[in-house]
Amino acid sequence: MRVVIETQAQPKSAGRRPTQNSWERFELLYRSSRDDIFAYVTTLLNDRAAAEDITALAFERAYRRRKTFDRRRGEERAWLFGIARNAALDELRRRKRVASLTVDPEDVSEPADDAGPEVALRRTAVRAALTELPARDREVIALKFHAGLRNTELAKVLGVSETAAGTLLYRAMEKLRKACDART
């Protein structure tokens, strides 16, 4: 999501220093992607504590490898999500177990649900259905709605074409919608 980087971070330094060093670029990337990475990893792992560790590990790896980043192979944000995805998949493989959480742990920063009981019920159903989705579908939804990736970036992270990424996203939403309907 280059737009995000440019619209949020670029104005701060564009007028002062046209060329940024690797640390400044990494810091901008961190500021713009920290919450998105965490949200994506949390949804994928269904484990907030592990997600925090993996998020930190992903940024540390990105920092170590920041000089090897090749812009011709994609945007920095997609590159960062690729690192986070590999770290999360390694964590899944290491644990050798299926994520057992069926509901999202309580989020202290979650906003109060003051839109009414129907909306609250609907949100609860979506939350529960999401945790029961297969990991592949949950990952696509997490990348799209929790990390805020565009379809092109999503395709890059998953290693598929943009059309295929759109198809995967559509199918995942259909599964989620049916799961929600079944719950309500």
Partner 1 sequence: MRGPDSDPQGQDTAGALMAVDATLAGDPVDPQYAELAELALILREERPRTSDAFTARLDAQVQRRFARPAPAVRGTGLRRWLGGSLAGLAAAAAGVAVVLVLAGGHGGGSSSSSSAAEGTVVSSASASAAPSAGAAAGKPLLSITPAIREAKRPTGAAAATATSSSSSAAASAPGSVIPSPVIPGTRQVVQSAQLVLGVAPKRIDDVSQQVFNVVGQEKGYVNSSNVTSGGGDGGASFQLSVPSANLAATLTSLSQLRGAHVMSRSDNTNDITGQVGGAGQKLAEARALRRSLLKQLADATTTEQVDSIQARLHDANASIASDLSTLRGLQRQVAYSTINVRIQSAAAPLPVSQHHSSGFTIGTAAHDAGRVLVVVAGVALIVLAAMVPVALVGALLAWVIFAVRRRRRDQALDLV
Nearer to partner 1, 18 or 46 (CB): 46
Nearest-5° Cα angle at 108, 103 to 114:
85
Query: CB–CB of 169/141 below 8 Å?
Result: yes
Query: CB–CB of 77/29 below 8 Å?
Result: yes
Nearer to partner 1, 18 or 70 (CB): 70
28-37 long-range contacts (CB < 8 A, ≥24 apart) are: 29/5, 29/62, 29/76, 29/77, 29/80, 30/59, 32/4, 32/5, 32/8, 32/77, 33/77, 33/80, 33/81, 34/59, 36/146, 36/147, 36/148, 36/149, 37/80, 37/81, 37/84, 37/147
Nearer to partner 1, 15 or 26 (CB): 26
How far apart are CB 47 and partner 1 at their closest, in Å?
11
How far apart are CB 19 and partner 1 at their closest, in Å?
20
Nearer to partner 1, 116 or 134 (CB): 134
Residues 104-133 that bind partner 1 (CB under 8 A): 104, 107-111, 122-123, 126-127, 130
Question: Where along the sequence are the contacts to partner 1 (CB under 8 A)?
Answer: 23, 27, 30, 34-35, 38-39, 42-43, 46, 48, 51-52, 55-57, 59-61, 63-64, 86-87, 89-90, 92-94, 96-99, 104, 107-111, 122-123, 126-127, 130, 134-136, 138-139, 141, 144-146, 151, 160-161, 163-171, 173, 176-177, 180
